[in-house]
Structure 1
């Protein structure tokens, strides 16, 4: 599956636009991770526990988006974006979304 943040894919032409596709992940860091992150926030710098959690959540959101597009019959996704929000104080929602399309090489 080709996934692009651009409107078109180089050397491909879009045959058909199938519609929006997305993947959603909601993650919560466990008590130990929150405790370590809280201690690191006092000192300052990168909070690696949250960075790792968000990187993994993004990968899972993209995987789910690709699965959604595949079920729609797409072979590519264009205009792919991420969105994120906090749910409460311990949960993060990551959404990967884009437009599912059918393309062919030029």
Structure 2
């Protein structure tokens, strides 16, 4: 499965657009991370535990988008976009979406 942020896959012709493929996940922080990251926030530097949490969430959203596209019979997803938002205290949603296509 190929993902691109462009309208087409370079060097390939799009045979058919199959619809929107999407995948999302909601991840929450945990108390242990909050304590260690609060200390880091005071002293400065990257909040690595939160960076890892968001990286995992993005990967999971992309995996779910791929599963959705494969269920449609797609070879690729074009115009891939990702968004994140806070939906609850301590929780964040990450969504990946794009157009599932069949290639020649």
TM-score bin, normalised by smaller chain = over 0.9
Counterpart Cα distance in 2 of 1:34 and 1:90: 9
3-state SS of the aligned residue for 1:12?
coil
Runs of 4+ in 1 over 6 A off after TM superposition: none
Q: Which residue of 2 aligns with 1:15?
A: 15
Tell me the equivalent position of 2:88. 88
After superposition, what is the alpha-carbon deviation per residue over 1:6-60, rounded to whole angstroms, capped at 9, x for unaligned?
Answer: 1111110000001111000100121101111111111122100100000011011
Relative to the length of structure 2, the TM-score reads 0.96
Partners of 1:49 and 1:37 in 2: CA distance? 7
Match of 2:47 in 1: 47
Does residue 35 of structure 1 match 2:1? Answer: no
Classify the secondary structure of the residue corresponding to 2:73. Answer: coil
Of 80-89 and 12-21, deviating more is: 80-89
**1:77 counterpart residue number:** 77
Tell me, what secondary structure is at the counterpart of 1:9? coil
**Equivalent residue for 1:103?**
103
The two structures have a TM-score, normalised by structure 1, of 0.94
RMSD (Å), alpha carbons: 0.8
Aligned residue pair count: 104
Aligned to 2:13, the other structure's residue is in SS state strand
Structure 1 stretch displaced more, 50-59 or 32-41: 32-41
